[in-house]
Amino acid sequence: MNVTIIGTGYVGLVSAAVLAEIGHDVVCIDVNEEKIQRLRNGECPIFEKGLPELLEKNKHRMRFLSDYQQGCQDAAIIMIAVGTPEKKDGSANLSYVFGAAKEVCYNLDHDAILIVKSTVPIGTNDEVERIVQENLTKEIHVEVVSNPEFLSQGTAVSDMMQGYRIVAGCESDYAREKIKALYEPLKQPLVLTDRRSAEMIKYASNDFLALKISYINEIANLCECLGANVEDVATGMGFDPRIGDKFLRAGIGYGGSCFPKDTKALHWMAIQNDYEIKTVKAAITVNENQKFRLLQKAKNYYDSFEGIEIAVLGLAFKPGTDDLREAPSLAIIPALLEDGAKIRAWDPCAEDAFRGQVDNSAKGEIRFCGSLRESLREADLCLILTEWDQVKALTPADFKEMRRPIIIDGRNCFCLEDMENEAIVYASIGRKTVGSLSQNLNIYMMERKDGES
């Protein structure tokens, strides 16, 4: 089939590459000419595992354009995969979706299915249908289908190739048949429903996962109070298939472009309908507080961070991406800088993006380190914010190179047994604190505390 995809962000581009891989001819449209040029030159403009290879392999079936008229020419299916950024009040900004739909209407001269892939509030697809009917310039039949994606950054290609399900909200048999034909090669369960239910499936799924994370984070906080180990608790829970073992990793909370935005959007939609969705509201509050658990723990060792050298390992919201959207680092690092800390930050991908976010007026200072070793050397404290493989490969001996080896791990990267009985302090989430400072360091810490009081 001829498929045209509007928007070459990670959803649009991954969808395009996978649809080409399963045999469709794909055109990608983006208003950003520079991005289109890079794609034409064989460059992959985003960091996504397996995507450059897939684009290269299927380049004979893919075209990149910035012109709608040319891009819509032969399309049987047109997909809108543009951004829906969060507005200040928590609602989604739909202007890009509506704008793309109008452009399609002005440039299309034959029947087609218009798929909305972007995550949009319930009812948006109906609104797109209305916009389409109002703006079509020719006597043609265009039908709007809600087809949300369930891609995670870093694993988006395999998420689409081996997805758990495909959801499509269609209002006619004609649309249902087209959707079946489009996705048939993927051999995945197909959930066909109406447009509003399809839109809701996306929010209900993402918010459920966010809820699950906030729930395990609260259990972790309680484990700390009661002397239990959250990892064992999660393992014990996860064997029950009604609960499942995924998304039960306790930590410093969820970030990224989806969970924070989608929880707030559902909360906002509920309020607009005079309903309060209390579970989701609680998940949002728990997540906001969870980011600061590390700082509360660090306060057990330092009353103030003024002049303290702090190794911060990981800036991205999760490993495998350079994305900083809603990353806990964006809340934690400014708080440390405000308190006068000297940050030694390390991240294999997100450093450049983070540079632009630093507030130079803060009391403290930030230095970006090219290696984990450089970050740890001479540090008085280490905070782990992202569970990169490189971090997980560190050993107690690596941490002993710190001036004062106090590690506060927001992602539970290490086994407690490996850290026990070492001349380091290791505090994590939902587990007991292990290890102890060597005699000399303990004396140093006590002197420091005495000096402050």
Annotated binding site for substrate: 202, 247-251, 255, 318
Q: Give yes or no for a contact between 166 and 186, defined as CB atoms under 8 angstroms apart.
A: yes
Binding of ligand UDX by 305 (CB under 6 A)? no
CA distance 18 to 250: 32
255 binds ligand UDX (CB under 6 A): yes
Amino acid making up residue 371: S
Q: Which of 183, 215, 254, 399 binds ligand UDX (CB under 6 A)?
A: 254
Beta carbon nearer to ligand UDX, 35 or 291: 291
The residues annotated as belonging to the active site are 258
Least Å from the CB of residue 35 to ligand UDX? 21
- As measured in angstroms, the least distance from the Cβ of 254 to ligand UDX is 3
Residue numbers belonging to the annotated binding site for NAD(+) = 30, 35, 84, 119, 261, 325
Residues 158-217 contacting ligand UDX, CB under 6 A: 206, 209, 213
Binding site members: 30, 35, 84, 119, 202, 247-251, 255, 261, 318, 325
Rounded CA separation 380/184 (Å): 56
Q: How many residues bind ligand UDX (CB under 6 A)?
A: 19
Residue 401 DSSP code: T
Contact present, 208 and 243 (Cβ < 8 Å): no
Tell me whether residue 268 or residue 317 sits nearer to ligand UDX (CB atom): 317
293 contributes a contact to ligand UDX by CB under 6 A? no
Closest CA to 322 of 353, 291, 345, 344: 353
CA distances (Å), 363 to each of 248, 268, 314, 333, in order? 37, 36, 22, 12
With contacts defined by CB under 6 A, name the span among 58-66, 146-154, 190-198, 271-279 that binds ligand UDX: 146-154
Give the whole-angstrom CA distance, residue 1 versus residue 284.
42
Give me the residues paired with residue 365 across strands: 342
Q: Which of 64, 68, 150, 301 binds ligand UDX (CB under 6 A)?
A: 150
In the complex, the smallest distance separating the C-beta of residue 387 from ligand UDX, rounded to whole angstroms, is 8
Distance CA 43, CA 35 (A): 9
Q: Which of residues 26-85 bind ligand UDX (CB under 6 A)?
A: none
Q: CB nearer to ligand UDX: give 14 or 75.
A: 14
Which of 122, 248, 286, 413: binder of ligand UDX (CB under 6 A)? 248
Residue 385: other Cβ atoms inside 10 A: 29
Q: CB count, 10 Å around CB of 433? A: 17
Q: Cα–Cα distance between 19 and 3 in angstroms, integer?
A: 8
One of 7, 71, 121, 251 touching ligand UDX (CB under 6 A): 251
Q: 265 near 91, Cβ under 8 Å?
A: yes
Residue from 121, 256, 314, 410 touching ligand UDX (CB under 6 A): that is 256
Provide the mask over 308-327, with x wherever binding to ligand UDX is found by CB under 6 A and - wherever it is not. Answer: ---------xx---------
Structure tokens at 100: 């793309």
Give the residue carrying structure tokens 């704008």: 99
Q: Which residues bind ligand UDX (CB under 6 A)?
A: 149-153, 206, 209, 213, 247-249, 251, 254-256, 258-259, 317-318
